[in-house]
Chain A
Amino acid sequence: MFVHALKQIGRFSFEILSSMGRALRLLSSALIRRPDHRNIPLIIGQVYQLGVLSILIIVCSGFAIGAVLALQGYTQLVRVGSESALGLGVALVLVMEIGPVVSALLFAGRAGSAVTAEIGLMKATEQLASMEMIGVDPIARIIAPRFWGGFIVLPLLALMFSVVGVWAGSLVAVDWLGVYSGSFWSVMEQGVDFFDHVMKGIIKSIVFGFVVIWISLYQGYDSLPTSEGLSTATTNTVVFSSVWILVLDFFLTLMMFEL
């Protein structure tokens, strides 16, 4: 019984290590084979697929979360007569925390899972193998453009999320709840610093973009060529990405505030 359990643990550990090795190898291959000028259109195509097609969900979510933040913040701040700080609060929370984290979670669910399913299906239907046999490296043609496309778009989507959130917050606070417009915007302007706050949010979303697209590509490329394998890989992409985003967010915040 004990030996059997030990065997299982050993096998599981070996599987994890071997999987990490394969993921690192895929990443290094994608980085080495960064697309040349001929592949720029491929990256632009991926920016469209992964970024532009995610705008709707990002805008809708950003709007809803910005509006809720303003509503929640107002009900608390109005008790102590500090509703003029509402704009600052909404902006800081969105730019530094909720914007990067929620947009990364949405990106993993919409674009990451799509990348995994697409590559997994290409593998299952031997499209990657046939590309190799035509003399075209699938890492350069399929993996690298998706990697760079995903890496580029997430920070932009996170910024868009925050901008829409702040706008929704102003609609709720200023136009609906009657917070004075001047104080809403001027306190925000004085309190939000580009390098101290916005840049930290951008750095977070760059890290999240890197991790999410890496996980998505690896899960698709390493998936078993079966329907169950594909389904597991797609689920893994969303689950692993979400967990990593939240764990990394904690450590990045810790580092940024030098606690």
Chain B
Amino acid sequence: MTRNSIVFDNVSYNFGKKEIFKNLSFEVPAGQTVGIMGPSGTGKTTLLRLMGGQIQPDTGTVFVEGKDLKKIKRTELFELRKCLGMLFQSGALFSDLTVFENVAFPLKEHTRLNGEMIRYLVLIKLNSVGLRGAAHLFPRELSGGMQRRVALARAMALDPKLIMYDEPFTGLDPIALGVISNLIKDVGSVYECTNVIVSHDIEETARISNLLYVLSEGEIIGQGSPQDLKKDDSPRLRQFLNGLPDGPVPFHYPAPEYMDSLIGVKNTKRTIIKRDD
């Protein structure tokens, strides 16, 4: 029987009055690379925050490595996070630490390795993302793409069982993109690490994932292997995968009628332009 790293069981989550997820259920099998795709604002980053226990669902249960995130104590949650890695969309590097110190941070906090061993490990991780030569620099001295590569090295520092990537391919040049996507793939296959990739990059995510989920309006509109999704002719899925502006998946954030907003005649909560006359 396949072991699951992550299980979402009937998860609902609201942000203020906006419903983000409604009875969402899916699994992430252990040791697989799973891509989660969907239009902007569909809650992909929120999904990762639920997986990391940073926020709790309103209803339903999230299991990570067999643990119910709602029931475990705070200390247990921090213990669990030692075997998780997360790449933030912004990189989220510690701005007062150098690149080397950023990658060494989890090793220093959670292992009893001596300084020399930590140095080896950090240099190995930095070399894998092509930034060994930038070890002495501060994050502010790096470009956005380079910061994300350092953040990736930091996420992999403890060789975690599960790594979550929030838009790992954004801001990378074509060479870095190829190297990083292969690195993510290798981490999954060589170390049997579970990868969860949240991305807009359909082509790259599909290339390295074993399983894909497509989210829209708080629910899963397509799932399966990249080959299965290519064959799926559901209109919502086709619209997203083919990048079509018109279709069942709305491009616009919920708003009053366009003309009503422009001329300001309807009683809308936030009318963008009101007529002076």
What is A's interface to B at a CB cutoff of 8 Å?
121, 125-127, 129-137
Q: A132-B54, A136-B109 are in contact. Are A126 and B81 (CB under 8 A)?
A: no
Question: In the complex the two chains form, what is the Cα distance from A126 to B89 in whole Å?
Answer: 10
Q: Distance (Å) between the CB of A252 and the closest chain B CB? A: 36
| 8 smallest beta-carbon distances between A and B, as pairs | A130-B92, A135-B81, A126-B92, A135-B82, A133-B86, A134-B106, A135-B78, A136-B109
Q: A125-B95, A129-B54 are in contact. Are A134 and B90 (CB under 8 A)?
A: no
Interface pair B106/A127, CB less than 8 Å apart: no
Interface residues as binary, B162-203 with A (CB distance below 8 Å gives 1, 0 otherwise) = 000000000000000000000000000000000000000000
Question: In the complex the two chains form, what is the Cα distance from A121 to B139 in whole Å?
Answer: 15
Interface pair A133/B81, CB less than 8 Å apart: yes
**Does B206 sit at the interface, judged by CB under 8 A?**
no
Q: Which residues of B contact A129 (CB under 8 A)?
A: 54, 88, 92
Question: In the complex the two chains form, what is the Cα distance from A80 to B97 in whole Å?
Answer: 62
Question: In the complex the two chains form, what is the Cα distance from A135 to B82 in whole Å?
Answer: 5
Q: A129-B54, A132-B54 are in contact. Are A137 and B78 (CB under 8 A)?
A: yes
Q: Could you list 6 A-B pairs, sorted by A, with CB under 8 Å?
A: A125-B92, A126-B88, A127-B94, A130-B86, A133-B88, A135-B81
Question: In the complex the two chains form, what is the Cα distance from A126 to B95 in whole Å?
Answer: 11
Interface pair A134/B81, CB less than 8 Å apart: yes
What total of A-B pairs shows CB separation below 8 Å? 52
**Does B252 sit at the interface, judged by CB under 8 A?**
no
Q: Apart from A134-B105, A136-B109, list 10 A-B contacts with CB within 8 A.
A: A127-B94, A127-B95, A129-B88, A130-B88, A130-B93, A130-B151, A131-B94, A133-B54, A134-B81, A135-B106
Q: Distance (Å) between the CB of A5 and the closest chain B CB? A: 21
**Does B226 sit at the interface, judged by CB under 8 A?**
no
Question: In the complex the two chains form, what is the Cα distance from A125 to B54 in whole Å?
Answer: 15
Q: A125-B95, A127-B95 are in contact. Are A133 and B90 (CB under 8 A)?
A: no
Q: Distance (Å) between the CB of A135 and the closest chain B CB? A: 4
Question: In the complex the two chains form, what is the Cα distance from A130 to B95 in whole Å?
Answer: 12
- In the complex formed, the residue of A with least CB distance to B52 is A133
Most buried by A among B84, B85, B88: B88
Q: Which residues of B contact A134 (CB under 8 A)?
A: 81, 105-106, 109, 154
- In the complex formed, the residue of B with least CB distance to A134 is B106
Most buried by A among B85, B92, B93: B92
Question: In the complex the two chains form, what is the Cα distance from A91 to B82 in whole Å?
Answer: 55
Q: Distance (Å) between the CB of A127 and the closest chain B CB? A: 6
Q: Which residues of A contact B105 (CB under 8 A)?
A: 134, 136
Q: Which residues of B contact A135 (CB under 8 A)?
A: 78-82, 84, 106, 109-110
Question: In the complex the two chains form, what is the Cα distance from A130 to B94 in whole Å?
Answer: 9
Question: In the complex the two chains form, what is the Cα distance from A137 to B110 in whole Å?
Answer: 12
Q: Which residues of B contact A130 (CB under 8 A)?
A: 86, 88, 92-94, 151
Interface pair B109/A133, CB less than 8 Å apart: no
Question: In the complex the two chains form, what is the Cα distance from A121 to B85 in whole Å?
Answer: 22
Q: Which residues of B contact A133 (CB under 8 A)?
A: 52, 54, 81, 84-86, 88
Q: Which residues of B contact A132 (CB under 8 A)?
A: 52, 54, 78, 81
Q: Which residues of A contact B78 (CB under 8 A)?
A: 132, 135-137
Most buried by B among A121, A125, A135, A137: A135
- In the complex formed, the residue of B with least CB distance to A141 is B109
Interface residues as binary, B47-82 with A (CB distance below 8 Å gives 1, 0 otherwise) = 000001010000000000000000000100011111
Interface pair A127/B82, CB less than 8 Å apart: no
Q: Distance (Å) between the CB of B148 and the closest chain A CB? A: 12
